[in-house]
Structure 1
Amino acid sequence: MIGPSSSTLALDSVGTPALWAGTIAGVLALLVLDFLVTRRPHEVSLREALGWSAFYVALPLAFAVFVWQRYGGEHGLEYLTGYLVEKSLSVDNLFVFMLLLAAFAVPAVLAQRVLLYGIAGALVLRGVFIAVGAAALETLDWAFLLFAAILIATAVKLLRDAVRGHDQQVDISSMRSVRLLRRLMPVTDEYHGPALTTRLGGRRALTPMALVVVAVLGTDVVFAVDSVPAVYGITEDPYLVFATNAFALLGLRALYFVLHAALSRLVHLSYGLAVILAFIGAKLALHWAHGVWPGVPQIPTLASLGVIIAILGVVTVTSLRATRGVESEPAASAGGPPTG
């Protein structure tokens, strides 16, 4: 997103109808594959998680080579930068998922099925937000300023929460979605495998699995509001926005089990994400100002990529140093009494 107007970029869009259809079909096929893998509930081993993580890292990198060779270096750089931003934000998603799994005492054998529901829901919501965002950029001159304001407000909230410290517990009883579901239907006290409903005294009842899935889907809405404007700050091409979101989300199920113990050590991640979102918000504001006053400078995509990598590197190093010698305690319970 350097220089040209939205209408110009639309003409040079990477996303042909054939590529859109092929990508959506590929994403659906990968989701079906993941549901087949999780059909038999089992506890995920580190070896299995590493194997799937390697696959879901190699896939978007191979796609980056395709975009670079087929559509040029500028589009390839935008895709790589957007993917890195979305992957970074997805790690913050995992931290929230970890707290929810712990709060609902999700058995370890069901954790990956819960994550998969969350990923599928996130993909649908991102698709909706991407379409809305593309329409806004085409019709509203001030949409860039709106996106910039959303990102800067989110950055301030992340920074405020980081200063106060992460809340390591989730109060299930205070969640509106949980209270609403309990009013509508009875809820069992125990999990019934991956089933969302079961029979209780002759009546159809929800299981705790249904409650945690709804809670995870609720967090997906919040993250969609942040992540879609963030990647639109890198590229205005709706196809690249969708591709970066899809590839970042598809690997979350396996990445969760790889980073499970390490997540609690990334104590400075929120600071880094706050700086990244504020930086992209400023980039969007400058892009809007450049359209009004051509003399206003813009931030090149390559410079954005360098800044994002540097910020992530710094917060990772400082987090590991700050938690050196502190034993990580995974927040998600591997068992225990389910909270129905």
Structure 2
Amino acid sequence: MPAGTHLHALTIDSVGSPSLWAISVAGLVVLLALDLALTRRPHDVRMREAVLWSVFYLALPVAFGAYLWWAYGTTPAVEFYTGFIVEKSLSVDNLFVFMLLLSAFAVPSALARQVLLYGIVGALILRAIFIALGAAALQSGTWAFVLFGAILIVTAGKLLRDVLTGREQEVDVSSMRSVRLLRRFVPVTGDYRGSRLIVREKGRLALTPLALAAVAVFATDIVFAVDSVPAVYGVTEDPFLVFATNAFALLGLRALYFVLQGALSKLRHLNHGLSVILGFIGVKLILHWAHGIWSWVPEIPTLMSLGVIVTVLVTVTMTSLYANRRQEAVPESANEPIGD
């Protein structure tokens, strides 16, 4: 059987018609404009506000998936929901880094929402670029499946290594090249100036720490895009669905940050689960490539992928809660007298 017979690398069918692309992009721009309008007045985000926005941004992909089911059938809808779960899981992990960056820059709570918005806009731009590159790679040949699979397996190994060595929570702002470059060529104010990124000080333009925080978040977005785009291409080869899953996952990220701000540190096993998910998708991509060459090589169907991903996420959540309860019980038992 000729190589690539079973692969769709050269002819990728997409549910994204020009009109659906236009509507989706227009809706994305409207939502981002609304977010931008709401962040023009810095304020502390209350839990009720964050929860309402989180529910809204979770309802959007559910409704969109239902539309895909009705208009295009089961397969695109299942691929969309599976890809969304993968992207949302990775975005929750990204929140750990965002939290550490905001803390490292001592960003006032009233300005945190604005920094996160800059990060989301930057992430959307970068994801769009990587999605286009990924689609071009898939069109050029089946080698892209091996490349994407290798990237995910290497990323899974690095993530697991960082977890085992305890380095996944470390963010050294001073070592970030983008921040060092800005500080080298542009003066930086010693304090925040409200929501302003650039101010004039002593006759010269100077950046505020808010601008440095935004640049740092944008720099980390590049790393996240390298991981997330190949991961969702392991679920679906449709560029429109890849774009949609990334957009929906990122839109609700800012509100979810404030909802999970206290709970994020308690998901201690999340990175363990993400390393398993990324490794699993990487193997799936390589098996998909190999199946086109040797028909006897098995493929992993999307429904099975969805089941594995959900099972892993539920498992690491339960083990994290169990580990937290055990840790909370240790001081109490340690204070009990051993004997007379």
* Same fold flag (TM > 0.5): yes
Report the equivalent of 1:276. 277
* Structure 2 CA distance for aligned equivalents of residues 324 and 91 of structure 1: 22
Partner Cα separation in structure 2 for residue 187 and residue 7 of structure 1: 50
Distance 2:272 2:149 in 1: 18
Could you tell me how far apart the structure 2 residues matched to 1:212 and 1:193 are?
Answer: 13
Q: Which string of whole-angstrom CA distances, capped at 9 and with x for unpartnered residues, describes residues 250-276 of structure 1?
A: 000100000000000011001000000
Per the TM alignment, residue 326 of structure 1 is displaced from its structure 2 partner at its CA by: 5.7
Structure 2 residue 42 is matched with structure 1 residue 35: no
Aligned pairs (5 A) from 1:11-160: 12-160=13-161
State the distance in 1 between where 2:225 and 2:172 align: 22
Counterpart mapping for 1:194-213 below 5 A:
194-213=195-214
- One of 5, 10, 14 as aligned partner of 2:8: 5
Q: Specify the code of the residue in structure 2 equivalent to 1:309.
A: V
Aligned partner of 2:71: which letter?
R
CA–CA distance in 2 between the matches of 1:16 and 1:315? 38
**Offset, 1:141:** 2.0
Q: Which residue type is aligned with residue 145 of structure 2? A: F
- Does structure 2 retain, via aligned residues, the 8 Å contact 1:155–1:277? yes
Tell me by how many angstroms 1:127 deviates.
Answer: 0.2
Displacement after TM superposition at 1:6 (Å)? 3.0
Residue 179 of structure 1, CA deviation: 1.0
Q: Secondary structure at the match of 1:264?
A: helix
Q: Residue 323 of structure 2 aligns with which residue?
A: 322
Cα 1:146–1:205 change in 2 (3 A) is same
Which shows bigger deviation, 119-128 or 167-176?
167-176
* Partner residue in 2 for 1:243: 244
Classify the secondary structure of the residue corresponding to 2:315: helix
Q: Distance in 2 between matches of 1:39 and 1:326?
A: 42
Contact 1:15 1:239 in 2 (8 A): yes
Pairing 1:249-260 to 2, within 5 Å after superposition: 249-260=250-261
Unmatched 5+ residue regions in structure 1?
328-340
Mapping for residues 300-315 of structure 1, pairs under 5 Å: 300-315=301-316
Task: State which drifts further: 173-182 or 163-172.
Answer: 163-172
Q: Distance in 2 between matches of 1:135 and 1:168?
A: 35
Structure 1 stretch 158-167 or stretch 252-261: which is displaced more?
158-167
In structure 2, C-alpha distance between the alignment counterparts of 1:107 and 1:314, rounded to whole Å:
35
Closer, same or farther: CA 169–303 of 1 in aligned 2, 3 Å:
closer
For residue 7 of structure 1, report the CA deviation from its aligned partner: 3.8
Alpha-carbon contact 2:188-2:207 (below 8 Å) kept: yes
- Please give the secondary structure, in 2, of the residue aligned with 1:254: helix
> Which of structures 1 and 2 has the bigger CA Rg?
2
Letter in 2 for 1:15: G
Q: What is the TM-score when the length of structure 2 is the normalising length?
A: 0.93
Normalized against structure 1, the TM-score is what?
A: 0.93
For residues 173 and 37 of structure 1, do their structure 2 counterparts lie closer, same or farther at Cα, with a shift above 3 Å needed?
same
Q: Is the 8 A contact 1:103 1:169 kept in 2?
A: no
1:268·1:318 contact (CA, 8 Å) conserved in 2? yes
Deviates more, 1:272-281 or 1:191-200: 191-200
- SS for the counterpart of 2:15 is coil
Aligned partners of 2:173, 2:75: CA distance in 1, in Å? 46
Q: What is the DSSP-based 3-state SS (H/G/I as helix, E as strand, rest coil) of the residue aligned with 1:78?
A: helix
Deviations 1:36-87 (A, max 9, x none): 1111000000000000000000001000000011010011000000000000
Deviation per CA, 1:222-253, whole angstroms, max 9, x where unpaired? Answer: 00000000000000000000000000000001
> Contact (CA 8 Å) 1:147, 1:284: kept in 2 or not?
yes
For residue 200 of structure 2, give the secondary structure of its aligned residue in structure 1: strand
What value does the CA root-mean-square deviation take over the aligned residues?
A: 1.2
